[in-house]
A and B are shown apart, each in its own frame.
Chain A
């Protein structure tokens, strides 16, 4: 498939795994940006869904939740049985003064067989439920024609839609109610794609593509994260899944296929020049420009996104300026170096990028 060549290129990149022991405490805190989805200009107001296994918003997540309830019920019964037996023994069989030696009961094979067989039967029931739920949640893939390819990088996500040719980063758009097949790959180490509100997690393993079925059943923004430890910035490798109605999704897809308008205004034009003069384009791509780098996220429509740095900060002019000046302050250890730009230079580039929609 057409995107595979790109993965191979990224595979050969050597990452610089420097360890930074001194942390700059003036770092710009990515706090409270979740409220952002409610009021970012130009974005539809979308509800931020609870990030919880209990808030299941797809048939897959609901099937897991039902199995979990079943398991919790079994666990509660077993726990209460064990705990009350222990507590009863503790109270009832406490040594009393003057008490003689208790009866030395060496065991009762019948009784012991009973408490071997009963747990075995309970577990057999759980095993049957497990096997049934597996088929609902993530049945084996026969046709490997995914709706979207998820390519994990240290420490961001790349999304490719092979049917339309859309390419984006960190924020996955999905249409409501469609059963989609996700193909998970990795450009470097092992990562894991996990959106608790939508269902199962699956590892993204280099050289070993995996598949995941998801059918989002409610519009909204779902937060997720990389769940397999993948190096320095594992914690800030957030996932955002934006579930839209089919029409909205189609409109979004069309907007992503359009080349954004040329920059207008002094600042944006200066920013566009700086983007080409400085090293930005060694790593990033912007369609219809000289920038063709493939190390970092594609920035063709970066102005459209809700967050930056894989969910680390909200996508505002101010935050983007800070990010361009020194990404290491916001996401220490990330692969984008500090470019030693002045604040006004960073501001110009940010103005240019924010206009890319």
Chain B
């Protein structure tokens, strides 16, 4: 295509795009690609902040009875770490990838509602800044990222931190729902001619169902946030048992949102993996139907498992049995995916680029996180290990070893498309190995910490073997993890300054985003290629007429 339009030929990096020059073009933009980049860059900035908070915690816990920081400071820091990583980093990162790539992969010019798209981003940024403003406005929130009532009631938490927390999440929640609706409408109405729903890339399937999760689960959180604000500001008593409220009500609302939220953070990662593995194995995805159907199963079941966060709250046996069963059931569609990805690699011709390395490590690490998750579905084990470091290990294997590794796979895969420049594979591999080492070194020992009786969210611990040794090891490896991120930053900076020109399709990808220039022009496509199968560019190269799926 670039050969046909000489004007495009000169564009080999974002800096060459005259439409994107100047601050004003970014602030006023309704271009899904600019908004996508804004999301991803903001998410990464908050990732660095969240990482800094994590390192502060790891310094505090390096030795028993440490006096590096006060309990109050520690409690604010672990709360902001969790809140930042879930709401200010992971969700916007996934939204960034979604709004950038959904229109490109379905052959559309933009999102269905470009202005709503911009509103979603700016609401997120405003909410995020408001959350951090709490540090200078009387104290950051300090009740954990799921802020259990009644600890968040005015009587127990008099600083305004919880108010900031609730208001910020409400603002961001409104933006998320808007973006969710936008993604659904975009996928339903703007697909290129010939692209039926069953021909859409799996990434689109995952994002599509993810958007349903977003719009159906966030209202539960928003309702709970309004209630806690009413309790704190208007002397209501939703969560105050002394006045007829319920101390457990919050947990039901929060996890009715919170468990689908976990899948909101994981499904897009599944989507990325389902794109990266076939391209670098040079094989069609194995079992498209099973992968798509299992996503629907996960989305549906994710609304029926929330009590497994509350097994220690004293539920009736009937409830416990039902939720133990449903929690185990949801492991099945997830397991299917792992086997389908392995089967895609099987018999392939695998190129171990950095993206593929991250996708491979994802499969193994996510399996560890999935298996520790199954342990929590076996209720008596949950009774021992919930709220311990075993949970901390579990969530980090799922969200860091899983989601974040997948998003790095996606970053190495799509960075050349977004910027027009390749990331260095050499530095990328250094980044990858440091990250594998740092991540597993930091978090694997936490399983053992939990088994040894270490509760989560404790600002200190007494000198009782093996706690000190395990914490020290974890802390040291956390710095390796941080170093890996610095190497990644170096790679990005180097690539933006003098990276190798990527060309339209450096990896031999098959989906529509590779049919346009890198970076794509404002209107995305000069002409959308005809879609007759699931891999339009494969069909083009092999002149197949939809014969190959």
Q: Which residues of A contact B (CB under 8 A)?
A: 8, 11-12, 14-23, 25, 27, 29-34, 51-54, 61, 63-64, 67-68, 71, 74-75, 78-79, 82-83, 85-86, 89-90, 93-96, 99, 101-109, 111-112, 115-116, 119-120, 123, 126-127, 129-131, 133-134, 137-138, 140, 154, 184, 186, 188-190, 192, 194, 196, 199-203, 205-211, 223-236, 238, 311, 332-333
Contacts and interface: CB of A to CB of B under 8 A. Distances in A.
Nearest to B375: A71
B300 interface: no
A322 to B, nearest CB: 15
A64 B390 CA distance: 15
B214 to A, nearest CB: 27
Contacts of A68: 375, 381, 384
Contact of A130 (B283, B287, B324, B458): B324
A166 to B, nearest CB: 25
B383 A225 contact: no
B332 interface: yes
A21 B73 contact: yes
B335 interface: yes
A134 B64 contact: no
Contacts of A86: 342, 345, 360, 363-364
Given A12-B242, A75-B374, A127-B324, A190 B342 contact: no
B351 interface: yes
B155 A15 contact: yes
A211 B70 CA distance: 34
Interface string B377-403: 111110111111000000000000000
A101 B349 contact: yes
6 contacts: A22-B70, A75-B371, A119-B335, A196-B384, A201-B312, A205-B313
A17 to B, nearest CB: 5
Given A104-B548, A203-B314, A206-B150, A236 B460 contact: yes
Nearest to B244: A207
Q: Closest 9 A-B residue pairs measured CB to CB?
A: A207-B241, A23-B70, A200-B383, A210-B314, A235-B458, A107-B287, A19-B72, A51-B453, A227-B387
With most chain B CB atoms within 10 A of its CB, the pick from A16, A64, A96 is: A64
Contact of B336 (A25, A112, A208, A238): A112
B329 A123 contact: yes
Contacts of B378: 67, 71, 126, 129-130, 133
A211 B281 CA distance: 55
A234 B457 contact: yes
Given A21-B70, A115-B336, A201-B383, A229 B350 contact: no
Contacts of A226: 455
A19 B156 contact: no
Interface in B301-354: 312-314, 316-317, 320-321, 324-325, 328-329, 331-332, 335-336, 338-340, 342-343, 345-352
Nearest to B79: A229
Given A51-B464, A229-B148, A107 B350 contact: no
Given A63-B380, A210-B313, A116 B350 contact: no
Interface in B136-158: 139, 142-144, 148, 150-151, 155-158
Contacts of A186: 247
With most chain A CB atoms within 10 A of its CB, the pick from B328, B372, B453 is: B453
Contact of A51 (B352, B381, B383, B452): B452
Contacts of B352: 90, 94
A200 B143 CA distance: 24
Given A109-B289, A123-B328, A234-B71, 8 more contacts: A52-B451, A82-B367, A104-B548, A137-B383, A196-B453, A201-B387, A235-B458, A235-B459
With most chain B CB atoms within 10 A of its CB, the pick from A108, A154, A235 is: A235
A15 B349 contact: no
Contacts of B548: 104
Contacts of A34: 462-464
B148 A232 contact: no
Contacts of B148: 189-190, 228-229
A338 to B, nearest CB: 15
B286 interface: yes
A253 B151 CA distance: 34
Contacts of A199: 383-384
Contacts of B296: none
B469 to A, nearest CB: 14
A211 to B, nearest CB: 7
B496 interface: no
A89 B364 contact: no
Contact of B342 (A85, A120, A206, A223): A85
Contacts of A123: 328-329, 331-332, 374
Given A99-B349, A233-B71, A112 B380 contact: no
Nearest to A135: B317
Given A188-B156, A200-B383, A105 B453 contact: no
A205 B241 CA distance: 9
Contacts of B427: none
Contact of A19 (B142, B289, B317, B325): B142
A115 B143 contact: no
